[in-house]
Amino acid sequence: MSHLTGIPASKELKDIFARARNGEFCFLKIVIENEQLKVGASRESVTSWEQEYDSCILPLLEEQQPSYILYRLDTMNVQGFQWLFIAWSPDLSPEDVSFSGYKKHLVSQKDPAPLTAAEEELRQIKMNEGRTENSIVTRQPTLQGLPFPIQDDAIEALDKLRNKELSYVQLKIDFNQETIKLADTTHTEIGDLPKRVPKDSARYHFFLYKHSHEGDYLESIVFIYSMPGYTCSIRERMLYSSCKSPLIDMLDKQIALEITKKIEIDDGNELTADFLYGEIHPKQHAHRQIFAKPKGPAGKRGIRRLIRGPTEPEKTD
């Protein structure tokens, strides 16, 4: 038997462990001396472990000496009495290992583990789901089916974009008012697009992409969903993600906004002219046959067969 660090147990400690299994002792204090685990103190059984817990345990605690304490309970299993293991360190408080501290420990074991910041945000979102659904029922949204209603001026701006009266429309979610709002309609050329993308919050962008392809002049509406990675809260990421598809579907059905391409980015610098062109007009890769049999020369026959069959007579001139 040895400590987890490789420190062996003394023979005396091994002997006491063998006797302790039968309930002979109520506690054992184990210390490290001369690179060995030794018995620092022991006591024979008590009448009630709960009543005598503090009187047994607290006097064993030394400010400058770490130790292990085994305290016998009254409960048993197939191996004998059950024991409480206490690892005492001078940086702890005696209150931590007192009987009241032990009771608090038992309560904490039954309680759910503390939530991380991300888990707490998810809990808040779920708590607010019912309230959000009720608010949607009590007020008529501009576009049905969206988790949040979209404001009228946003619809008007998108209709102007559809009619080529605007080159750019940006929408954002107002979490306090629980609405989708118009954020920007600044005239935008393709070189301006990266400047329109916030670095610390998500947005929906609708851009009128004017370009030429194979000799034809085209004006394509591109939807861009920008989400700057994990600088946004979980709530913001979830709400923007859940509103995205219903928003696009409703704009298509109710104002006939034809979107040529949907793009998701996390950095506005991705929006270059080459990037947009490649997204809308991806290169077509020609597929060629592998190991195809080559064709013979056009208009020519192959070499005349020189080998006669066994029944063919030899021709004479």
Question: Model confidence over 136-157: pLDDT tens digits?
Answer: 333 334 445 567 889 999 999 9
Tell me, what's the pLDDT at 189? 95
Q: What is the pLDDT of residues 244-293, one digit of tens each?
A: 999 999 898 888 999 999 999 999 999 999 999 999 998 875 444 444 44
Per-domain residue ranges for the chain? 11-109, 140-280
Query: Which tops the pLDDT comparison, 93 or 129?
Result: 93
Q: DSSP assignment of 81-115, as one string?
A: EEEEEEEE-TTS-GGGGSHHHHHHHHHHHHSPPPP
Kindly report, residue by residue over 64-83, the tens digit of the pLDDT: 888 999 888 888 877 778 88
CA distance linking residue 272 with residue 254, whole number of Å:
31
Distances (CA, A) of 232 to 59, 143, 179, 268, 293: 53, 26, 18, 15, 58
Check residues 130 and 223 and name the one with the higher pLDDT.
223
Amino acid found at 80: G
Domain 11-109 has CATH 3.40.50.300: no
Q: Which amino acid is at 224?
A: I
**N residues, the chain:** 317
- Same topology, domains 11-109 and 140-280? Answer is yes
Cα–Cα separations (whole angstroms), residue 24 to 16, 82, 253: 9, 13, 82
Residue ranges of alpha helices (H) inside 9-81 are 11-20, 53-57
pLDDT (0 to 100) of residue 49: 83
Percent pLDDT > 70 in the chain is 75
For 39-50, what is each residue's pLDDT tens digit? 888 887 667 788
Round to whole Å and give the CA distance between 184 and 82: 69
What value does the mean pLDDT of the chain take?
Answer: 80
- Encode burial over 80-115: b for 16+ CB neighbours within 10 A, e otherwise: ebebeebebeeeeeeebbbbebbeeeeeeeeeeeee
Rounded Cα distance between 265 and 229, Å, is 9
pLDDT score, position 242: 86
Say what the pLDDT of residue 297 is.
Answer: 54
The predicted structure's pLDDT at residue 286: 47
pLDDT at 131 over 60: no
Chain centroid to Cα 143, Å, comes to: 31
Alpha helices in 29-77 (DSSP H): 53-57
Chain centroid to CA 18: how far? Answer: 50
Q: Which residue has the tokens 């809260």?
A: 233
Query: What percent of the chain stands above pLDDT 90?
Result: 34
pLDDT digits (tens, 9 = 90+) for 91-104: 888 888 888 888 88
Q: Buried (b) or exposed (e) across 21-54, using 16+ Cβ within 10 A? A: eeeebbbbbbbbeeebbbbbebeeebeebeebbb
The pLDDT value given to residue 279: 93
pLDDT digits (tens, 9 = 90+) for 172-209: 999 888 899 999 999 999 999 999 999 999 999 999 99
Q: Are 196 and 268 in contact (CB under 8 A)?
A: yes
Distances (CA, A) of 266 to 180, 197, 309: 20, 9, 76
The pLDDT tens digits of the residues spanning 21-42 come to 777 788 889 988 888 888 888 8
CATH fold, domain 140-280, is Severin (3.40.20)
- Distance (Å, whole) CA 246 – CA 13: 71
